[in-house]
Amino acid sequence: MTKVLVLNGSPRGLKSNTQAILTPFLEGVREAGAETDVLVVRDLDIKFCLGCFACWSSTPGRCCQEDDMTRVLELWRQADYVVYATPLYHFGMTALLKRLVERTLPLLEPRMEQYGDRTGHPLRQGTRRARTVLIANCGFPERLHFGALLEHMRYLTGGGKGLAATILVGGGEAFGRAYRPNGPFAWFFAAVRQAGLEIVTQGRLSPATQETLDRPLAPDETYRQAANASWDADGDGEPPGRGQ
């Protein structure tokens, strides 16, 4: 059975725009028969990597720190897909998620090998080569803000070879931090659900699904005005009347 490990990297946890996208995605993944493990990173005890390389020397494949990362690594070793789900923070993934990613060093071997035009580390024996899905949303309406994150993800996935799909959502605050399957973004959430299904059944997104996911949620100027009005009104930054 296909195993999907999902990492929700939003500091808002389950009440986030990230989770609003993840919920229908997971519905599709489960409908396709995959097994899922969903981790809300902010609720885990994950310390920073110490850079000691113990996982490459004295205790190969095992970190010297005892925390929830032990369980995350067990799940990662078994996973066919790892879903990085994050809001855009300063043009990248959140520090919460990055801290977790840095702790995956035990999955690699210290040996250096040549892969095409570059040097890398091979996966340690017993670790499946998981493919990656990136689900990201951001506060600005345009999708061009994801450029640096996308490039980062390409580096993390062997020049993009392991990047199975990306769902990049500009103006994500329009969701109001909730999945409303019958609200104004029903068309988007239905496409996200379809994306979850397609990833498991086909290993990629169909062009039709990708095209729908890439559509703007609202005209840029409409979104800007709604966001500004919201800050002026109650200071919570959620565009009023959106995602109801």
- Which residues are near ligand FMN by CB under 6 A? 10, 12, 16-18, 87-91, 137-140, 145, 172-173, 177
CB-based burial label for 33 (10 Å; 0-12, 13-18, 19+): exposed
**Residue (of 136, 21, 98, 110) closest to 57 by Cα position:** 110
**Cα dist from 110 to 47, 60, 119, 123, whole Å:** 21, 9, 12, 9
Closest distance to ligand FMN from the beta carbon of 22 (Å) = 9
What DSSP designation does 211 have? H
For residue 136, give the amino acid letter: A
Closest distance to ligand FMN from the beta carbon of 18 (Å) = 3
Closest distance to ligand FMN from the beta carbon of 229 (Å) = 16
Decide whether 19 or 127 has the Cβ nearer to ligand FMN.
Answer: 19
Structure token digits, residue 48: 């920073």
Decide whether 12 or 154 has the Cβ nearer to ligand FMN.
Answer: 12
Closest distance to ligand FMN from the beta carbon of 226 (Å) = 13
**Residue (of 7, 92, 100, 9) closest to 47 by Cα position:** 100
Decide whether 107 or 213 has the Cβ nearer to ligand FMN.
Answer: 213
Decide whether 17 or 209 has the Cβ nearer to ligand FMN.
Answer: 17
Decide whether 7 or 105 has the Cβ nearer to ligand FMN.
Answer: 7
For residue 22, give the amino acid letter: L
Rounded to whole angstroms, the Cα distance separating 93 from 178 reads 20
Share in percent of the chain as helix, strand, coil (round to 5): 40, 20, 40
Closest distance to ligand FMN from the beta carbon of 87 (Å) = 3
Decide whether 91 or 115 has the Cβ nearer to ligand FMN.
Answer: 91
Rounded to whole angstroms, the Cα distance separating 62 from 230 reads 48
Closest distance to ligand FMN from the beta carbon of 102 (Å) = 19
